[in-house]
Chain A
């Protein structure tokens, strides 16, 4: 574990840029922290913090000079691996059928997979990438765009030293400190004399970049302070989600009265699925020009909260808001385990912050757990 000064972040960005990476990181824009291309450390949201609670998000001026003093951006990293709109192919109708073309794309469509360095991935979001890997890099079918982009990532995690208003990563075992899966991990330490970072590498690629930076060995008390910050962050998390037997309890209680209660509040607006770092569902659409001859087939993010999502001839399978909310929560916290061996929720809390009526997944899961009809094995 080493220590770098705050000013070294620019060298880190330059080291990545000189290796051909486009550096993507947090920056404050339009009243929110978004993830976009950053050129230097001055693009980071220095001295800005965020306030999050159910249905509430706002930026505030922090009383420090931290670069990562905010907790979590509404934008998760999935958009770089699973673009919200992706052209699958273009086709031209011909006198004898159609021809798939690879003509120049419109300027507003997403780019080809390229070397991207993510700066400031939170531990929960790192786990989200691991979960998406299992979805898109499966044994039987692979998403070529995801695979190509995933292979060109450089991941810089920034561990959390402060819990946000809707966080529960401690319950999901994904944070506040990342264990593996990154190239470089940073922990930003706030000190009266100025902030600094603890830095560690998690891969050969990361170690190679790290060697280029002006750094010194971290003092034992600095490492201890970071460990304490992690413990403090976990302890100060306002929410918990009891995961013991949760998979069985949710699967076995589709008619629990609580589903009706939450359906009375849920607007089925799909916000939770859009901000969720693991929601991966998509639909496909054909877009044609006015002649109808030039066709673009696009894949777009979709949500299980819409009626169309489950439509088959005769009607939607999940016609009621109750069944759609239940589908989402049950997928995240139950059937995801069957499908991919882990919960599909990383405890980032975005769905709670961005739900316009402040529905809280931890509260709903807890309510189902009370009075559930599942026979659990004795301990």
Chain B
């Protein structure tokens, strides 16, 4: 008998698939609930879960649902690896394993009274969405709220209906840009960093929450600094290989940081020296 019988942080709990929907050509959203359907899994915006496909493998995926509705776990991911490709084929009623939530969160509760700038690149919108929900459910507690979202092409726009709905609100500024587009597109073309210089926020009070590819985040920080944001007002969500989620497997090390435990959300102040180095 070598199998661990005690409560082990590496043993997943079963969750049932409530729905699975295709978002774009290569992304999908899966909604999960506990087996009895009523247990809650509270989480903070920015945290992630380890999702386990029995017999296939386990991967970290950010939580992209509403933190005020903790009965439903929402995960949006891109189907690119062995696990996500298998996950893509899940149907309502199927069961997968979940461990979590893990990691640090966006500082939504700390920045009340400030302007909030969300900058998302591609699938980076998914881990920011819970923070958007949290801000919008307490809208009166924040200053201006701006969402800047860049993606590859119009077909890759994530949560399109929701973005359109948000953009229709008078208390929210939503700007979308794409890297490339065909003639029918009438929106912005170019990288998301181009949107920063003209977006309406007060750099003296604003807090920026940034998630996207590392290169996009580096350039976003530069633009935010040009607008006058100080390093301590910029937050990033980092991505690294993760096997355990609890700081024991060593995979997610980013200099002295364990991204799974000390991140994924970091103040830029804390990681700026590391981001300046290559292949750390």
User: 8 Å CB contacts to B: which residues of A16-63?
Assistant: none
Contact B279 A318 (CB under 8 A): yes
Q: Which residue among B95, B97, B241 has the maximum number of chain A CB atoms within 10 Å of its CB?
A: B241
User: Which residues from chain B contact A330 at a C-beta distance below 8 Å?
Assistant: 255
Residue of B nearest to A284 (CB): B243
Contact check: which of A292, A309, A339 meets B251 at CB < 8 Å? Answer: A309
Contact B256 A338 (CB under 8 A): yes
How many A residues have CB within 8 A of the partner chain? 67
Contact A284 B55 (CB under 8 A): no
Contact A98 B3 (CB under 8 A): no
Contact check: which of A104, A314, A335 meets B1 at CB < 8 Å? Answer: A104
User: 8 Å CB contacts to B: which residues of A102-120?
Assistant: 102-105, 109-112
User: Which residues from chain A contact B170 at a C-beta distance below 8 Å?
Assistant: none
CB B242 to nearest CB in A, in angstroms, measures 9
Main secondary structure of the interface of B (DSSP, over half): loop
User: 8 Å CB contacts to B: which residues of A312-332?
Assistant: 312-314, 317-320, 322-323, 326-327, 330-331
CB B168 to nearest CB in A, in angstroms, measures 33
Contact B54 A90 (CB under 8 A): no
Residue of A nearest to B276 (CB): A254
Contact A105 B250 (CB under 8 A): no
Q: C-beta contact mask, A323-356 vs B, less than 8 Å → 1, else 0?
A: 1001100110011001100000000000000000
Contact B2 A281 (CB under 8 A): no
Query: Is B226 an interface residue, CB under 8 A from the partner?
Result: no
Query: Is A133 an interface residue, CB under 8 A from the partner?
Result: no
Query: Is A304 an interface residue, CB under 8 A from the partner?
Result: yes
CB A149 to nearest CB in B, in angstroms, measures 11
Contact B54 A281 (CB under 8 A): no
Q: Which residue among B58, B240, B248 has the maximum number of chain A CB atoms within 10 Å of its CB?
A: B248
Contact B240 A86 (CB under 8 A): no
CB A79 to nearest CB in B, in angstroms, measures 14
Contact flag A138-B247 (CB < 8 Å), given A90-B3, A144-B6, A317-B279: yes
Query: Is B218 an interface residue, CB under 8 A from the partner?
Result: no
Nearest 7 Cβ contacts at the A-B interface: A97-B95, A281-B250, A338-B256, A323-B279, A141-B246, A335-B256, A295-B55
Contact sample, A vs B, 27 pairs, CB 8 Å cutoff? A88-B4, A90-B3, A96-B95, A97-B35, A97-B94, A97-B96, A100-B11, A105-B1, A112-B1, A138-B247, A144-B9, A255-B278, A280-B248, A281-B251, A282-B250, A283-B249, A284-B243, A295-B54, A302-B249, A302-B250, A302-B251, A309-B251, A317-B279, A320-B279, A326-B279, A327-B253, A335-B253
7 other contacts beyond A254-B277, A288-B55, A320-B279, with CB at 8 A cut-off? A88-B4, A110-B2, A144-B8, A251-B255, A283-B243, A314-B213, A323-B280
